Structure 1
Amino acid sequence: MGSLVPFQDLNLQPEPTNPRIIPKIEPKLEPLDEYTQADLQTPPFFPNPSPNFSSSGSGSSPFTRNSNVQLPTSSTVHEIPPLGSDDTTVYSEYNRISELFKEAFARKMQQQQRFGEIEVVGRNHQDSENQDLGVIAEEEVVEDPDSRALVPVSNENNQVSEVVVTKRKYQQRSSELVRVTDLKPEDQVYFRDAVRKTRMLYDSLRILTMAEDEGSQHLGTYRRPRGDLKACQILREHGLWMNRDKRIVGAIPGVLIGDVFFFRMELCVVGLHGQAQAGIDYVPASQSSNREPIATSVIVSGGYEDDQDGGDVIIYTGHGGQDKYSRQCVHQKLECGNLALERSMHYGIEVRVIRGFKYEGSGSASGKVYVYDGLYRIVECWFDIGRSGFGVYKYKLVRIDNQEEMGSAILRFAQNIRMRPLEARPTGYVTLDISRKKENVPVFLFNDIDDNHDPAYFEYLAKTVYPPYVYQNVGSGCECIDGCADNCYCALRNGGQFAYDYNGILMRGKPLVFECGPHCRCPPTCRNRVTQKGLRNRFEVFRSRETGWGVRSLDLIQAGSFICEFTGVVLTREQAQIFTMNGDSLVYPSRFPERWAEWGDLSQIYPNYVRPTYPSIPPLDFAMDVSRMRNVACYISHSSSPNVLVQPVLYDHNHVAFPHLMLFAMENIPPLKEISIDYGVADTDEWAGKLAICD
């Protein structure tokens, strides 16, 4: 094994005659994308989870949030004087101790990179309400023993008291390096399905916990925690983080190039990148078998002045030597993550690259998304003077050949198509809107394979056509002039809670969803009017050699978002039999599997979870003719592992036997990725995995 000639430590040079002031050095982490300064510093109070999210069998698990602070050790407890009667002295001492704690927390953060939790074991002397205090910190590279401390806090009446907290210790992350190779097709399907289910559970938890926070009215002035952090912590408490028993080098089974993540914490959940904020994930020397650190993944976010991202070639800057404003102020050292990258280069170990960048309409707190771009090799490492005049370590990363196209490149290409379709694709477009302005946004038709232009010749049907008798006795609606609340008439029809959050995301699949309709007095902006507004994303019907006609989005679609309605002309059973005799193919809604039950299923978290059964509907005993009039949904391909589910919805009539068939995303769907649905038929059926009339 070769040796590394160390660079001269420029930080240890003799002090000049006129020493200059050196700013405070902060550990170089990724820019504070999702973790605002308030998220990282303010100790929050959380209410107990509501009965909807708890189980008598598993107990009540505190919801947690991210923080870059750690509690002082138990020795600090003796430095806190007892509270006296002099208010001035009390508050002065309180402020002094608070500042001491902040400094101790900052120092501690420089040494730790592990997820932990701080749990309340004491209670406010003045407040009898049981409140949980939860903080998520980054995962440690060196295990730290449990500690207890006495923390001063104030309630809504500015009464200062003390809370005893203890740090819960989790099982340490494995340091055993393994590489997964030669997966069989059935293994690839298995791992992909496992990742999809874990991500779906994460999204369901995040959306539901955020909805609970929005309904809480007794949190005082403290900043509310974020759903992505809560979901991450709950999954960890139940042992549902993936790839924890081994440290995987190379590709993660079940994670594909181009997969998009709206939240940084989700990378930790699936094991793609194990650091909540640090840009370099590595096995530390203290845990490595040969006592040398090894890097496994990096995040490139474009937030560092010396980084250069050329796509297939990246000049990646090491960590360290930066102040809290991400300005280089001291020379970097070849240690920790920097040394891990150099050692990975030495041993020829590839690293996973995840890119993070701003994306309009991402829905995350930072406006950023993270996309997995594949495997890179570190081919060169050197010490250089950066733009700020200080020494930095630089690494040249080159993408390994014969991989799928980078997800970040596809995102940028889709953006160009949305802005300038004919410039991005000079050939292949048949029409830029097969809906003929019947939708809110155009629906493109693209075919660069053959001369088949059939979708352009059908009448576009934006909404389903029902028999006239369906609209008899439609009834009345809610009286919410200023917008609907959870106690309005339409909410009661849904079982007491709306199906969507304030961003229009489906919180939990149900047998039927009632939306506010034309007889309701609430405005068009009501949160309970989601599917009736039509398309929100730009779609493209395209020709494929594998699946015939297919559908893909030009926008990034977040899990739980509305896709479109599956429209057609509704036929009774007798009418359907006549059409079948004439050879026409029909869509039978009763064949669609109840995939809606998978969205929001928390049975892995709470054993007593029962899937929603209200409002209930009878078996769907009708067919839909899409042979002459259809919309974009008719061209969606069949899959046994779909990324779209069918959710029955009613809004313009009350006949529960004839609901609208609304499609929602079951996972994050990147631009230009084919959308799929489970038609409830086998690939050997007469449909051959797709509607015959659309093939």
Structure 2
Amino acid sequence: MSTDQSSDGNSVVKDAMPVNYKDLGSSVPKKFTSAATGELSNPSTNYTSENLPSTVTFPVEARRNQGRKRKNDQNNDTDGNYKKIRRTGKKNKPSKDNTDTEYFSIGSSSSTPREKCAMILSMYDCIRRRLNQIDEAENGTRNSHSMASTIMTDNKLKIEVQNPIGTIPGVEVGDIYYFRFEMILVGLHVQVMSGIDTITNNNDKERLAISVVYSGKYGNNMEDDDPNILYYNGQGGNNGKSDQKLEGGNLGMERSMHKSNPIRVIRGIPMKSINGASGKIYVYDGLYEIDEFWSSRNDEGFKCIKFKMVRKSGQPEVYGLWKKLDMWRRNPASRGNMVTIKDLSSGIERYPVCVVNEIDADKEPDSFTYMNRNLYAKSNPTEPIFGCDCTGTGTGFRSGSGICSFDKPNCNCLHQNDGVFPYSSTGILTFRKPLIYECTSSCQCSLKCPNRLTQTPAKLHFEVFKTENTGWGLRSWDPIRSGTFVCEYTGSIIELTDENKKDRYLFDTASEDMSEFKWNNGVELFGEPAVEASKVKTTTDSLLISSLKFGNVSRFINHSCKPNLFWQLVQQDHGENGYPHIMFFAVQHIPPMTELTFDYGKMGRRKDKCFCGTDNCRGVFG
């Protein structure tokens, strides 16, 4: 494998390892169908740096020193227990960026570390979504998130750092991850299963802990109300059925206490506590230091090692905020006195939409009528869509009575979407397309069919809040996964006139600039043709929707040159392509209490100053 130097001084792999699905054994999909063209592609295509998109630069694989396992029993007492030890030095020292960390580029030399991490995660998520779509079509049982990680890793498409102690460039405190493989790809925590990640110190060859994933599954009964203190149980011990030993990750934790090196903490929060779903969300809680450690006996009499970890000061609030959000979701009234309106939607949305102002004395936004459907200037579109007759029971991922599924070849909704369903069985958009056809009132399938995703309100707790520079904005109390349906842009369907040219609540489908936005990226890595952003152009020339007098929460979504939402055209209740619905989906994983934004595009009617503050801010929009 040969390397050259890129313009930013980073090494670029000239000949990356090809991906051959024969090497993945029985987990390989039997066939691949392009979501864009519907054509079969070659699953055994080898993919190298020679046929990658020009915007991707391979990073050099970091060589992490592998230290010898080193036991340390100097702190054992005669009974075999560990003495309670405190680290020396100042507590709660302010957090500092690790300026010695070297970062290998993904993307252009001008890309920031944040942009490179986002590019890696976006590509991984696209590959995982597509593999999951193929798996659902074949009723398979493959691990799509593991396979996607294998494809990325084999092509060296991951972030590597030479000094992984402390902060990771491009990763911010509060970031969320839905798969541990995502944390591996950005270098936050590179262990697939182990809760403690360690390295060997080059200077004295001692093992040091650099990050931990806290899941709370080992019966931790010492958790208190202080979100800045974490009691972490050591690893090993066969789930409490044998003694834990001061070796491996436990030894690294003990050594890190004496060295006072910062340790990244990722908390695994059960999804059930948020929206009733299975699995966990991994939340990066920032840097901690180990204050003390000791051993005790569990109920079965076996030795357990415990570490008290203290969060470094000067970091944004994370776990404390998540605890507040949990309380707000259970009791919205607990949000406090800053709430000026308890439910802006007057019961229309699934959950109350509160209005919050912590900036000035404004009590509420300008008056408008809240509604979750569009108003048409003349009459509602009536052209029918030929529906499906899916009344039988589906199989595999799409099991259940009256569910559209891949094993129903006569499903008209499946054919209208080029032979692939646009959403996963868990309600995630798989690919962005010019137009998505959902099941309609003429379909025989049930209302629980996954192909009716946007026809029910999103399971999100919205909050309208006053911003510092852009008026009222919108955010959610819930974490939002990439590809999640957020809301529809509703209002009055109008025609452009001199009178409404300066309408600040006017949405124009013709204003979008698709040349830079990429969401369907990465499928080339397993032999499918790339989907150019320009080919996902809308099918309607110009659809104008004004939410000045009528609308919903979408009217409060502000502009950003680097948005976390994008819009997708969806047809669901009629067959007139000139009047589709505008649906917003998440570009990436969005932490709770993050302002929701989309790119207003280039309408050419007026120019407003942009306050988004992103690295690629255009300065103006409109």
Partner of residue 99, structure 2:
180
Once the two structures are TM-superposed, the CA of residue 545 in structure 1 deviates from its matched residue by 2.0
Read off the aligned partner of 2:326 and give its amino acid letter: Q
2:266 to 329, 354, 357: 354
Pairing 1:612-627 to 2, within 5 Å after superposition: 617-627=538-548
Alignment CA distance shift 1:411-1:456 (3 Å):
farther
After the TM superposition, which residues 443-482 of structure 1 pair with which residues of structure 2 at under 5 Å, given as runs? Answer: 443-455=353-365, 457-468=367-378, 471-481=381-391, 482=402
Q: Do structure 1's residue 270 and structure 2's residue 222 form an aligned pair?
A: no
* AA at the equivalent of 1:493: Q
Corresponding position of 1:226? 143
- Is the aligned partner of 1:253 residue 2:169? yes
Aligned-residue offset at 1:263: 1.9
Shift of 1:365: 8.8
1:499: which partner in 2? 422
Partner of residue 338, structure 1: 250
Distance 1:393 1:690, change over 3 A: closer
Which is further off, 461-470 or 675-684?
A: 675-684
Determine the structure 1 residue equivalent to 2:233: 317
Structure of higher RCO (CA pairs closer than 8 Å, 6+ residues apart): 2
TM-score, reference length from structure 2: 0.75
Q: 1:265 and 1:410 mapped to 2: Cα distance?
A: 25
Give the match for residue 632 of structure 1: 553
Assess, with a 3 A threshold, how the Cα gap between structure 1 residues 598 and 309 changes in structure 2: closer, same or farther: farther
- The yes-or-no answer on 1:513 pairing with 2:494 is no
- Secondary structure of the residue that 1:273 maps to in structure 2? coil
Kept after mapping to 1: 8 A contact 2:272/2:278: no
Q: 1:540 to 1:342 in 2, by over 3 A?
A: same
Residue type matched to 1:295 in 2?
Answer: A
Equivalent residue runs for 1:140-289 within 5 Å: 179-180=98-99, 190-217=112-139, 224-243=141-160, 245-284=161-200, 288-289=202-203
Q: Which residue of the partner structure matches residue 688 of structure 1?
A: 609
Query: Which of 582, 587, 595 is equivalent to 2:507?
Result: 587
* Distance apart, 1:501 and its partner CA: 1.1
Aligned partners of 1:584, 1:475: CA distance in 2, in Å?
34
**Mapped partners of 1:413, 1:660: distance in 2:** 35
What is the aligned-residue identity percentage? 31
Aligned mates of 2:330, 2:528 — CA distance in 1: 49
- Asked if structure 1 preserves the Cα contact closer than 8 Å seen for 2:297 and 2:303, the reply is yes
Q: Which amino acid aligns with 1:578?
A: E
Distance change in 2, residues 1:312/1:189 (3 Å): farther
Give matches, 1:431-580, under 5 Å. 431-455=341-365, 457-468=367-378, 471-481=381-391, 482-486=402-406, 487=409, 488-573=411-496, 576-580=497-501
Deviation at 1:381? 3.6
Q: Give, as a single letter, the amino acid of the residue that structure 1 aligns with 2:207.
A: P
Q: Aligned-pair distance for 1:541?
A: 0.5
When residues 436 and 569 of structure 1 are mapped into structure 2, their CA distance, relative to the original with a 3 A threshold, is same
In structure 1, how many angstroms separate the alpha carbons of the residues matched to 2:508 and 2:29? 45
Alignment partners' CA distance in 1, 2:420 and 2:517: 17
- TM-superposed CA distance for 1:413, in Å, is 1.2
More helix by share: 1
Contact 1:262 / 1:364 at 8 angstroms: preserved in 2? no
CA distance 1:183–1:455, shift in 2 (3 Å): farther
Counterpart contact for 2:290–2:308, Cα < 8 Å: yes
Give 1:409 deviation, angstroms.
2.4
Q: Secondary structure at the match of 2:376?
A: coil
C-alpha displacement of 1:459: 0.6
Q: Residue 327 of structure 1: which of 236, 240, 243 is its match?
A: 240
Aligned residues: 520
TM norm structure 1? 0.68
Partners in 1 of 2:228 and 2:254 — Cα distance? 19
List per-residue Cα deviations over 1:650-672 (Å, max 9, x = no partner).
Answer: 11222223221100011222222
> 5 Å matches for 1:11-26?
none
Note the residue ranges of structure 2 that are not aligned, 5 or more in a row.
1-23, 35-39, 48-63, 69-96, 392-401, 613-622
Cα distance between partner residues in 2 of 1:230 and 1:524: 33
Rate the CA distance shift 1:250–1:309 in 2: closer, same or farther, 3 A. Answer: farther
Equivalent residue letter for 1:353: V
SS in 2 for 1:530: helix
**What does residue range 5-44 of structure 1 map to in structure 2 within 5 Å?**
none
Deviation at 1:534, TM superposition (A): 2.8
Distance 1:467 1:614 in 2: 31
Q: Is the 8 A contact 2:67 2:205 kept in 1?
A: no
Shift of 1:348: 2.3
Q: Quick one: distance in 1 between partners of 2:233 and 2:386?
A: 63
C-alpha distance in structure 1 between counterparts of 2:370 and 2:111, whole Å: 36
Distance 1:269 1:291, change over 3 A: same
Deviates more, 1:354-363 or 1:531-540: 354-363
**Structure 1: any 5+ residue segments left out of the alignment?**
1-42, 62-138, 144-177
Contact 2:175 2:283 in 1 (8 A): yes
Deviation at 1:470, TM superposition (A): 6.3
1:304 matches 2:218: yes
What displacement does 1:562 show? 0.5
Structure (1 or 2) with the larger CA radius of gyration: 1
- Deviation at residue 566 of structure 1 after TM alignment: 1.0
Counterpart for residue 119 of structure 1: none
Paired residue for 2:84?
Answer: none
